[in-house]
Structure 1
Amino acid sequence: MVKQQINNTALYLRLSRDDENYGDSISIETQRTILRQFVKENGFHVVDEYVDDGWSGTNFERPAFQRMIADIESGKVNCVITKDLSRFGREHVMMDYYLEFYFVDKKVRYIAVSDGEDTDKGLSDFVPFKNLFNEWFAKDTSRKIKTSMNAKFRAGERTCAYAPIGYKKHPDIKNKLAVDEETKWIVEKIYALALLGNGAAKVTKLLIAEKIPTPGYLNYKRYGTFANIYADAPEEKSYAWTIAQVKSILKDETYIGNSVHYRETNVSYKNKHRIRKDRSEWLRVENTHEPIISKEDFEKVQDQIASRRRMSKTATTQIFAGLVKCADCGWSLGFGTNRQNKTPYSHYHCSRYGQLGKEQCSMHYIRYDVLYAYVLSRIQYWSKEAQTNEEKLLKRLLSASDKETGTIKKKQTNELKKAEKRKAEIDSLFTRMYEDFVSERITEYNFQMMSVKYQNEQAELEDKIAELKKKMDAVRQNESDAEKWIALIKEYAEPTELTAPLLNALIEKIAVHEAVKHEDGTREQEVEIYYRFIGKID
């Protein structure tokens, strides 16, 4: 006599934010009622309920789902019951994997109550099609939501979980911001400090010193959110501002009455990983709510952010700030002043070496006056060339550019050929595989599994090809680039001194190499200047 296996059952319930639009028929409580009634009538032993509320069916990294899988792996669960297949998931390849492979391998029984599917009785031939339709439903829902949100954004609506500091959700108008009289003074203070010439780091220190509450702490006090951060935290946590927070507020067009959307997006409706979008793809809608900061003050702050250079202890501007880099590790060179000598002098050194020691990099020491003299002499030289013989200089720049970028272009060209060749091979393999599927030489399961593999590789290759073409365009120095630089340097005819605006207009970066000391005591050091548009030409 064969002993009947005890069904140690997991009741799995899932509801996404999108599903809520379809009423109570698939609510968590409705699912729970159906599943409990089913196990009661059929005598199943329930181990636990696993509930993912607010999680998409295309995402299989759901916390409760992963907890259920862990219990299957440990032998605690050998039966899974859901209301229907869509509650388990809406991605047909992963559904096929769990139903056809994983559950079979782990000897787990699966039941979808409303669909009438039970692995012990054998799944119907319609299951793959049901899973495919469930995925199409998720894709269609995602498309409809995007269309709806786009329409709302263009109409000036502002959808958000929490209003930015200085604002609150409008009490009478849905999806609209209203000025929060209790907190707008914080935003005004931040901008006032910035307008006085303070950088984000200095503003942050001042906010902390005056114990001004952070946006997160204000939300906790008002709505109870972020209790895991603030509930038992020390007092200083309530005003623990960061430089990133201050920078974000100083760059946010919300405070001049604009709404900016689509800064980030998901990779796809299946993959919720967020990626930053190019600025040209942002959607900017002006005058959607009352501003806190004037546009004139906002623009002044943006100009300061773009041109600001760190001040030394003697209140002089470090004109090379942001431009001087270590040629070996790529870190910025730190600025310092030697005051031990009778005549103090300033210098630069590798900040990576300064922080992490000689195991990570070396000093890359260079005096400020030496760097200043060298860079000024090179700019004076090129400025004179541009003024006296523009045509000859143009030919020289194009020749130098070809030498500089030739090796890079050759390498990228070879990589592009390989990627395009592999993509053609994948396209051909995909075609043959489809013919095998139609001729029933391979199973539907294998076809679907291989389809995903090839589709993923196709997508990766397409991204790689696009990226390589973009890089090749970026390094291809053409006549237009050279002409732009010549026109630019001609604006600074015969400069007699260096300034931050001049340096930032003409130069992209300055790479400083480690100095070589010779036996006779002399010191030799290579400094590479990379100019805007044309790169390294010296």
Structure 2
Amino acid sequence: MLKQQTKLRVRLYARLSKDDGDADKESNSITNQLQMLRYNAKEKGFEVIGEYVDDGYSGTTFNRPDLNRMIKDAMDDPEPSGIMVKDMSRFGRNNAMFMYYVEEIFPNNDILFIALNDDVDTRFDENEMMPFKSIMNEYYARDTSKKIRSVKKTTALSGGFCGSFAPYGYVVDPENKRKLLVDPDTAPIVKRIFELSKQGNSVHQIARTLCEDGVLIPRAYRAMKNGTLETSTGFKFPTDWVAKNVKMILENQVYLGHMVSHKTQTKSFKNKKPVAVPKEEWIIVRNTHEAIIDEETFELVQKFISVKKQPNKTGRPNIFVGLVKCPDCGRNMAFSNPNGREPRFRCRTYVRNSNLCTTHAISYEALQQIVMSDIQKHIKNMEALGDQFIQEMHELSEKGGSKKIKQFEKDLEVAEKRIAEIDSVIMKLFEQNALGKISDERFEKMSSAYESEQKELAQKRDELRTKIRAEEKKTQSTNQFLETIRKYETVTELNRSMLVELIDSIYVYQAEGTGKDRKQRVEINYRFLAGSQCGIA
């Protein structure tokens, strides 16, 4: 029970957020709330001992700075006191939390609660409607949240921008807040990040380069544009780029000119913590704004950032990173110089367990020579044979592509046939379960195994379809290969740019023979050619 005192000491609390809508925006403004609270405190003869404001915070969360500070001050106060708000919704729209504070925490700590517009005053026992009003406040928050989500989804589906701030490299169009414009200050930095990745730099190396060059991180750049760089507390070091930030930029399709939305969502209208949405559920609308990065560069970069770049002890960069693979196990080859010997590539599976694969070892220098020689061979043939070479390349591409496509189509047919068979099996299991011929437990176990197999097959089917489309595209891209290779007519030394522009993958086979009789097949798959080229080490 509250101790008797001659004059009630109260703390005033005001809150406003986007959740409160526009209809009641003026009457709910922080200024109007405080004016109303001060006036009523004076009329009732209360002593105001503090004013607390949370502007821009949702009522569904009770983790608000000034709310927490006010409750702490009231609980630490040795004398009885009260908390006064305009209405119950200002204190919060989460019914469980509201009732917990008002009926448990406050009475146990000699704290009164007064909501003026709702006629709630815990000094008296006439508060029967308080629980019902609290439930309605929560319902309002739920309904508002549902409407906001619906509006955002509609905006996203139409290709409109609905984020809190523009992605790094863009600004929001001042005449249309749903449209993005290229930011002339940061777009060149985005291009530089992609170029550094294309050259073989890891996300950690790119972050270190940007940091050394004093480039502001995205959050610091926004603060600078808002004039709050010196006072902002959202970061400690304004140029402290980290690999995670770089990777997010490199993976963002927004730089292709596509609007990508619904990548995260909150757990519920009460819990505002963002959770990742599965990639297949993202909303992507193509060609909604000007692109900063072209499709070819973006695709190349995706291929290389998906490769985990292990630091090596060779003291030299590996220009082949992400390209050299083992044809038997399909894994990327490891680059090292064991026992201080000449740097070389070995099968990564073999390195971890020599019983699972063979070495496929090849020296770094030998691989460089094979690849460079093959590229120069194409350049010389192109110069010497002219149109005849172009025709031969078309024929080679079509022949190689046709062979691969036929194999992929055969594998696809097998996968689709098995998927259909599993559908039939699961249907029969269901019928047997319905007739009581097999138990529910047995049905669950068997159907689960079949569904798991079907899921793997569906994934394999999608991969095969993608490979078929890629090979079909390659057979039509011979001219693009010739245009690209012409750029390197005068180059005498292999470099990273040449590799990523021309080559899709390099497969190194297990060597045969020893000494002078040692031979090793190296398969070079060019990006724009369906046929493979081979060299001998």
TM-score bracket, shorter-length normalisation: 0.5 to 0.7
> 1:344 & 1:112 partners in 2: Cα distance?
79
Match of 2:154 among 148, 151, 155: 151
> 2:321 & 2:127 partners in 1: Cα distance?
74
Compared CA separation, residues 475 and 255, structure 1 to 2 (3 A): same
Contact persistence 2:325–2:508 (CA under 8 A): no
5 Å-filtered alignment, 1:50-449, equals 50-75=52-77, 78-229=81-232, 237-307=237-307, 309-310=309-310, 312=312, 313=314, 314-315=316-317, 337=337, 339=339, 371=352, 373-377=354-358
The equivalent of 2:480 in structure 1 is: none
> 2:456 & 2:43 partners in 1: Cα distance?
77
Report the Cα offset of residue 249 of structure 1.
0.8
Compared CA separation, residues 299 and 72, structure 1 to 2 (3 A): same
Compared CA separation, residues 214 and 318, structure 1 to 2 (3 A): closer
Paired amino acid for 2:272: K
Contact persistence 1:50–1:68 (CA under 8 A): yes
Compared CA separation, residues 9 and 162, structure 1 to 2 (3 A): same
Contact persistence 1:82–1:111 (CA under 8 A): yes
Using the size of structure 1 for normalisation, the TM-score is: 0.61
Compared CA separation, residues 153 and 181, structure 1 to 2 (3 A): same
SS in 2 for 1:246: helix
> 1:284 & 1:320 partners in 2: Cα distance?
29
> 1:20 & 1:191 partners in 2: Cα distance?
41
The equivalent of 1:533 in structure 2 is: none
Report the Cα offset of residue 344 of structure 1.
7.1
Paired amino acid for 1:289: H
5 Å-filtered alignment, 1:478-497, equals 478=453, 496=510
> 1:481 & 1:230 partners in 2: Cα distance?
47
> 1:238 & 1:474 partners in 2: Cα distance?
52
Paired amino acid for 1:221: M
Compared CA separation, residues 318 and 158, structure 1 to 2 (3 A): closer
SS in 1 for 2:25: helix
Report the Cα offset of residue 79 of structure 1.
0.6
> 2:131 & 2:522 partners in 1: Cα distance?
65
5 Å-filtered alignment, 1:10-49, equals 10-21=11-22, 22-49=24-51
5 Å-filtered alignment, 1:445-456, equals none
5 Å-filtered alignment, 1:510-529, equals none
SS in 2 for 1:174: strand
Paired amino acid for 2:227: G
Percent identity, aligned pairs only, is: 32
Over aligned residue pairs, what C-alpha RMSD do you find? 4.5
> 2:275 & 2:235 partners in 1: Cα distance?
34
Compared CA separation, residues 282 and 499, structure 1 to 2 (3 A): farther
Contact persistence 1:264–1:276 (CA under 8 A): yes
Report the Cα offset of residue 103 of structure 1.
2.1
Structure 1 residues 271-280 or 493-502, which shifts more? 493-502
SS in 1 for 2:306: helix
SS in 1 for 2:49: strand
Paired amino acid for 1:55: Y
Paired amino acid for 1:136: Y
Compared CA separation, residues 320 and 104, structure 1 to 2 (3 A): farther
Paired amino acid for 1:258: H
Gaps of 5+ in 1: 324-333, 349-365, 380-468, 503-538
Contact persistence 2:508–2:523 (CA under 8 A): no
Paired amino acid for 1:103: F
Rg larger for? 2
1:412-443 per-position Cα deviation (integer Å, ceiling 9, x unaligned): xxxxxxxxxxxxxxxxxxxxxxxxxxxxxxxx
SS in 2 for 1:145: helix
SS in 2 for 1:132: helix
> 2:154 & 2:20 partners in 1: Cα distance?
20
Report the Cα offset of residue 478 of structure 1.
4.1
1:272-312 per-position Cα deviation (integer Å, ceiling 9, x unaligned): 12211211221112222111111221112112223464473
Contact persistence 1:319–1:499 (CA under 8 A): no
SS in 1 for 2:177: coil
1:61-106 per-position Cα deviation (integer Å, ceiling 9, x unaligned): 2111111111122125621111111111112222222222222222
Report the Cα offset of residue 208 of structure 1.
2.8
Compared CA separation, residues 51 and 310, structure 1 to 2 (3 A): same
Using the size of structure 2 for normalisation, the TM-score is: 0.61
Structure 1 residues 270-279 or 493-502, which shifts more? 493-502
Contact persistence 1:15–1:28 (CA under 8 A): yes
Count matched residues.
Answer: 382
Gaps of 5+ in 2: 327-333, 361-443, 465-506, 512-519, 525-537
Paired amino acid for 2:225: R
Contact persistence 1:346–1:367 (CA under 8 A): no
> 1:66 & 1:322 partners in 2: Cα distance?
57
> 1:98 & 1:172 partners in 2: Cα distance?
45
